[in-house]
Chains A and B, each alone.
Chain A
Amino acid sequence: MFGPKGTGDTSGYGGLVAKVVTPGSSERPYGGYFDEVTDNLERAYPEFSDAIERVVIDRGELTLHVKAEKLVDVAFVLRDSLKFEMCMGVNGVHYPEQTGRELHAVYPLLSMTKNQRIRLEVSVSDSNPHIPSLVEVWAGNNWHERETFDMFGIIFDGHPGLTRILMPDDWKGHPQRKDYALGGIPVEYKGATTPPPSDRRSYK
C-alpha cells in the first residue's frame, strides 16, 4: 500500500490510494421538503417507480435519477404540477469508469413559487449517447443543451438545432470528456522546464 513505485519518486508522494465512496440511494424520510416533492411527484406521475431509478439526498440536495426515455414526461409533470417553472440549464459529467452509463446530464431545477430546488440526473452510455431534448419544456435549455453536446457529445433528440456553440463548427472531438487531452507544451524558463498541467504529478 505504501512506498514509491515505478519512478522511485521520494518527494512525498507515497502512492497511497484512498477508496472513493460516492453517495448511494437514500431511504425515506428524506427530510426537508424532499419528501413533499417526491410524494407530489408520485401522486402526479403514476409511473414514478418505473421512471425514477433512484433518489439521492446528499449535502442537502435532492437528486432524482431519471431514465432517459421518461425524462420529458417527468419534466412536464415537474413543471406543470409541481411548479418547477425554471430549469437552470444542463451540464454534463463524464465518468469513463461507469461502464454503460459513462455520460451524465445534470439538470438543476428551480421552483420560484415554492422556493425549492431539486436536480434531475440522466445517464447514458458512451456508445448510444441519446437523451430527449427538454427545449419544448423549458425553452431556455436550448443553448445549454448545445453546450453539453459540444463539450460531451451527448445528442439531445428533438433539439431544434443541435450544433456546436462554443467550439468552432468543424472541431473534432468533445473537449470536456475525460479521454480528451488538455494539451499544452513544456515551458522552459531560466533553464528549468515546467511540464504542461496534464503531465504534472497528480495526487489521488
Chain B
Amino acid sequence: MTTFDPYAPSRDTTEGKVFSVTGGDWDSLVQEIGATKEERVVVNMGPQHPSTHGVLRLVLELEGETITEVRCGIGYLHTGIEKNIEFRNWTQGTTFVTRMDYLSPLHNETAYCLAVEKLLGITNDVPERASVIRVMMMELNRISSHMVALGTGALELGAMGPMFFAFRDRETVLEIFEMITGLRMNMAYVRPGGVQQDLPEGAYTKIREGVKLMRKNFKDNATLLIGNSIWMKRTQGIGYLDLAGCTTLGITGPVLRSTGMPWDLRKVQPYCGYENYNFDVVTADTCDVYGRFLIRMNELEQSLRIIEQCVDKLEKLHGAPVMVADKKIAWPAQLALGGDGLGNSLDHIREIMGTSMESLIHHFKLVTEGFRVPAGQAYAAIESPRGELGASVVSDGGTRPYRVHFREPSFNNLQATPAMSEGGMVADIVAAVASIDPVMGGVDR
C-alpha cells in the first residue's frame, strides 16, 4: 500500500479488496495481498486465459494454493445457433449445427440429421454407402478432436512437444476432410437423407495412406507421454470422479469410461450401422486425468480400425447412391470439382437449364422452399468424442425446424469441474478441465 502500482491497482469493495492484475510486477502484488492478512483469495481465471480452452471463466476461491470453491462462468461464446435454425429450412440447419462444437462438426451434423431422418421416417432408407461414409468421417473426426484434446491438454500442463505431434497428425485428417468435403471444418457435409456428395477420385488411396501414416505417428506421442514420470505426477489421482458422481451429473464419454464403465453408444445403442464394425470400447479404472488420457490415446487405434473397415466396405459399394432415393427430400444438385473449385455439377446444370423444365421447377422448389417434415419430436443420440451428443428436434409440420436443442456433452460435463477440483491444488484444475475436454463452441452454442 505504498505507491500506486499501474499493473495491480486495488480498490475497496464490500467484499474486500479487489486487485486487477494485467501483467507487470508480480512481486508487488504478492506483497500487497500479503499485507491484507487475508487467507481467502478469490481469483478470476479467464475468460481470456490460455488454459481454459477458449472462453471459459473460472472463479476460484483459494486458501493458499488449495481450491475451496470453483464456479464456472460460461456464455461468452453464445451465438444463438438454436434460435437461428428456426429461421432456416431443414437442410440449412446442418450449416448451423456444424458450428456448435467446432472440433467435431461431423458429429453435430450426424446427430441432427439422424433426428431429422427419424422425424421423416426415413431412417432405414438412408443408403448403406451414405452410412458408411458417415461412420468413416465421424471416426476421422474423432481422431482430429482427440488430437486437439491431447495436444492442448499436454500444452496446458507445460509439455510443448506433444502439441506439435498432435497438430501434425490432425493435419493428416484435415487434409482428408478437405479432399472429401472441400472444407477443413464446418463442412455441412452430412445432410438429411445421406451425405452431400460422394467421395472424390483417389479418396480410398489417400485415406489408406493417412491411416498408415497416423498409425506410425501416434507412437510419437505415446512414447513421449505414456509412463513419463512428470506427466504421471501431474495427471495420476487428479480430477477424481467416480461412477456415482458421473451418473448423477449425467457425465458420459471418456470421463465416464475412465471409471471402468464400458458405456459407448456406438456399442450399446448402435446407429449408422456401428454394429457391423469390429472395435473395442476402451476403458480405464483410475477415475482420474491419466485414465482419461489413456482412453483417448487408445481410442485413436480403435478409430483407425473402424476407418479401415469403412474403406473396405466403400470399395465394395463403389458407385452406390449416397443420398436417399426419395426425390422430394434428396438435395437436387450434386457438387462436382471443376477448374475453379467445387460447384454445382455441370451435368446437373445442363439438365435443369437445357433439357428438363420439370427438373428446374423441382430444383427451385426444393432449394428455396425445402421439404416438409411431419409434426412431432425426436431425440437422436450419438457418441461424440466428448460423450453423448443428443439432438432434440421438434417439427410443426413446416419447412423449418420448430425447435432444435443440442444436449451438448461439453456443456453437461463441465458441471463436473467443482467435483473434480475442489480440495485440490490450483495448478490441478487446469488438468481436470483439460481431461473433460470442453469445447466452448459446444458449451455456449
Contacts and interface: CB of A to CB of B under 8 A. Distances in A.
Contacts of A142: 415
B375 to A, nearest CB: 5
A151 B261 CA distance: 34
Contact of A165 (B75, B121, B379): B75
A61 interface: yes
Contacts of A20: 375, 396-398
Interface in A149-194: 151, 164-168, 175-176, 180, 182
A5 interface: no
B269 A115 contact: yes
B263 interface: yes
B411 interface: yes
A12 B368 CA distance: 10
A59 B412 CA distance: 26
B348 interface: no
A141 interface: yes
Q: How large is the interface on A (under 10, 10 to 19, 20 to 34, 35 or more residues)?
A: 35 or more
Q: How large is the interface on B (under 10, 10 to 19, 20 to 34, 35 or more residues)?
A: 35 or more
Contacts of B268: 115
The secondary structure that dominates the A interface is loop
B372 interface: yes
A22 B250 CA distance: 30
B83 A139 contact: no
Contact of A140 (B84, B121, B249): B249
B415 A176 contact: no
B227 to A, nearest CB: 32
Nearest to A85: B247
Interface in B57-93: 74-75, 78, 80, 82-84, 86-88
A182 B96 CA distance: 15
A204 interface: yes
A77 interface: no
A132 B87 CA distance: 31
Contacts of A88: 250, 381, 388, 390, 407, 412
A93 interface: yes
A141 B247 CA distance: 11
A138 B388 CA distance: 16
B266 interface: no
Contacts of A106: 377, 392
A143 interface: yes
A106 B248 CA distance: 18
Contact of A108 (B74, B86, B407): B407
B365 interface: yes
Nearest to B372: A18
24 contacts: A12-B368, A20-B398, A22-B375, A59-B378, A61-B378, A88-B250, A88-B390, A91-B405, A92-B405, A93-B403, A106-B392, A110-B388, A117-B269, A117-B381, A119-B379, A138-B250, A142-B415, A143-B414, A165-B74, A165-B75, A167-B78, A182-B83, A197-B84, A203-B398
